[in-house]
Structures are given as structure tokens and as C-alpha cells.
Amino acid sequence: MSDLTPIVIAHRGASGYLPEHSLAAKALAHGFGADYLEQDVVLTQDGVPLVLHDLWLEEVTDVARVFAGRARDDGHFYAVDFTLDEVRQLNLLERRAPGSAARLREGRFSADQVRMPVVTLDEELAFIRALNASTGREAGVYTEVKFPAFHRRHGLDASRIVLETLGRHGYRRSTDKAFVQCFDPQELARIRNELHCGLRLVQLIGENAWGDSDADYEAMRRPAGLDAIARVADGIGPWIPQVLNWKPDGTPETTDLVALAHARGLVVHAYTLRCDQLPPHAPDLAAVHAALFGLARVDGLFSDFPDRTLAALRPAGLPCGTG
């Protein structure tokens, strides 16, 4: 696997340039030549899969203005509390800092007045299929089932709905240009063994300190944990610091995670490359790309700036999408 050209996954689309998960961000990433376009999926009250990263809507839409008073006691406007018809009234915005009207990342897309709807998974898959046809270049899909346990508590089977939608659009087998990703290891095993998903699966790995899940991410990164993942999945999606860090003098240093994964036949797709938020002590973007691909030997990278990652990987003059 390590002698193949690594893949570039457009993280929430070309989200460094346009509101994340807007169709515009997906179209731009497709035009850049990204190998895969990412979808995060959460469900509406009526069980419609939306392409949305958070459980709530307020950090990437104008929901707080359109549906003032519809937040729960914790202040969040949960997507699962809104019907698709209601979500259709919202406009995507560049991501805000939590609890604030300020953009999370200065310098990113600023035209809030431009209408961009929240997209359903069905619409996005149709959009990508049509773009693949009209350009003659096939970008793959890389779909994450978000918060399956939360959805189950609301009577919704997120995985089943996502897999059925992918299947309707022709994504069913390991040879199809698609990955399904999830942070929840029990759910990933269920996706494989109970829902009989034939697509390639990726176990996402977070940090126990994030406290966002019951999963033991530390155990996952040890040999026995990776053995267990390899029985279910085709790859892992670690956070960049789990594979590579920089010493204060700017020297890169790898962990053993990629080697342990490769020894078990697992590909490694690391997240997330952001040109405007480089890892601590990393000297510059070129050094980050060189270390991730040349030293850490990851097989793919989630990038907010897929054009920059593609440029680092593919020498000038080669058409996009080769290898």
C-alpha cells in the first residue's frame, strides 16, 4: 500500500475556501482533482440524512436567527429537532466559533449573504455522480456515520439510513470508490457484520481526553487494538499527532502507529491538514506534507486545502487524478 500514490480526501469539501459541506465546496474540491470528497452525516427529526458535521446547526448555519427559541436547554439547536422542511429554510455560513458570531478561522470565506442550502446525503451523492459524469473524472465518496448512539436514543438508525442511501447511488462493494468511516468501534463492527456492508471501512481514532465517546482510543492504537480493528475494517483514520509530531527545533518525529497498521494490512488516512493551522513546531506547509507522506508514510490525508495537498503530492505537469 505504501508504494501507491496516497489519496487526497477533501475534508468537508474544499472547506478552506468555502463553507464546509456546501455543494460549492464539493464542486471546488472536485475541480481541484481531489480523490475523495468527504460527507459527515447526521439525521433530521424525520430521519433524513444531512451532510453536516455537528449534532447541532448553529455553528454553520443561521438557525439561531431563523428559529430563535428552538434551542435545547444546553443552548444547542440540534438537527434532530428539525424536520427537513425546516432545515431547507436555513443558509450555510462559514463556521463560527462555539457560542459566538465570530468566524472560527479568520481569513476564510466571508460572504454570508450568498445563499447556500444545507445539503442532504441524497442530493450530494447525486451531485457528485453528475459531476463525475460531466467531467469524466471520478471522485470517490468518503462518508462518516456521526454519533450513531445519539441517533439510536432518538429512535433513528443512522448507519442503516446512510448505507441504504449509499447503496441507492451504487456504492455497495469494496471495489466501489467509497469509504465508510466511524469513530464508534461497536457501530463499525455492526456495519460490517450485522448490516453486511461490503464497502471499505475506516475506524476513526480520536483521543480519550476529548471525552466525545465511550471508545478507548488509546487501546485501539496498541497491537491488540489494531488486530481487532483489522478484523472489521480496511483502514484507520488517526489524528495527525498520533502519527507525527515536531520537536521544538522543527524536527519531525513519527510514532509507530503507521507501521503497526501497515503490518496488519490497514491503510492509514490521517486528519486534518489545515494550511492556516499547522501542527505545533512544524516549520511550514511543505515540511508537513513531506513528513506525512515521506516519513510517516500515510496512505491518505484529509485536507481542508486539497489543492495544496495535491500539489505537494503530484509533480507539476501530471494531470490531476493520476495514480
Supply 98's cell numbers.
462555539
User: How many residues of this chain interact with Ca ion, rule: CB under 5 A?
Assistant: 2
**Which amino acid, one-letter code, is at 198?**
G
Least Å distance between CB 42 and Ca ion? 11
Q: Tell me the sheet residues that pair with 91.
A: none
Q: Which is nearer to Ca ion, 40 or 94 (CB)?
A: 40
Q: Which is nearer to Ca ion, 59 or 144 (CB)?
A: 144
Residue span binding Ca ion (CB under 5 A) among the ranges 28-36, 136-144, 228-236, 291-299: 136-144
Alpha-carbon torsion angle 188, 178, 13, 117, nearest 10: -80
**Which conformational region is residue 10 in: left (phi greater than 0), alpha (psi within -120 to 50 degrees), or beta?**
beta
Under rule CB under 5 A, residue 184 binds Ca ion: no
Q: Which is nearer to Ca ion, 67 or 201 (CB)?
A: 201
Q: For the window 190-219, what string marks contact with Ca ion as x by the rule CB under 5 A?
A: ------------------------------
Q: Which is nearer to Ca ion, 67 or 271 (CB)?
A: 271
- What are the DSSP calls for 234-279, one per residue? SEEEEBGGGTEEE-TTS-EEE-SHHHHHHHTT-EEEEEEE-TTSPP
Residue span binding Ca ion (CB under 5 A) among the ranges 21-29, 32-40, 135-143, 261-269: 32-40
Least Å distance between CB 46 and Ca ion? 23
221/209 Cα distance (integer angstroms)? 15
Least Å distance between CB 33 and Ca ion? 20
The residue from 20, 35, 58, 144 that contacts Ca ion (CB under 5 A) is 144
Q: Is 53 assigned a catalytic role?
A: yes
79/41 Cα distance (integer angstroms)? 11
Q: Which of 30, 53, 151, 269 is catalytic?
A: 53
Least Å distance between CB 21 and Ca ion? 10
Q: Which is nearer to Ca ion, 146 or 297 (CB)?
A: 146
Least Å distance between CB 298 and Ca ion? 16
Q: What sections of the chain are H helices per DSSP? A: 23-32, 63-66, 84-87, 121-135, 148-153, 158-168, 185-193, 217-220, 223-230, 257-263, 285-290, 306-313
198/174 Cα distance (integer angstroms)? 6
The CB density around residue 9, as the number of other CB atoms within 10 Å, is: 30
- The residue number whose beta carbon is nearest to Ca ion equals 144
Q: For the window 33-52, what string marks contact with Ca ion as x by the rule CB under 5 A?
A: -------x------------
Least Å distance between CB 197 and Ca ion? 17
- Report yes or no: 21 and 54 within 8 Å, Cβ to Cβ: no
Least Å distance between CB 143 and Ca ion? 9
Q: Which is nearer to Ca ion, 37 or 131 (CB)?
A: 37
Q: Is 281 assigned a catalytic role?
A: no
Burial of 66 (0-12, 13-18, 19+ CB in 10 A): middle
For cell 442530493, name the residue.
123
Q: Which is nearer to Ca ion, 91 or 143 (CB)?
A: 143
212/206 Cα distance (integer angstroms)? 9
Sites of contact with Ca ion (CB under 5 A): 40, 144
Active site residues: 11, 53
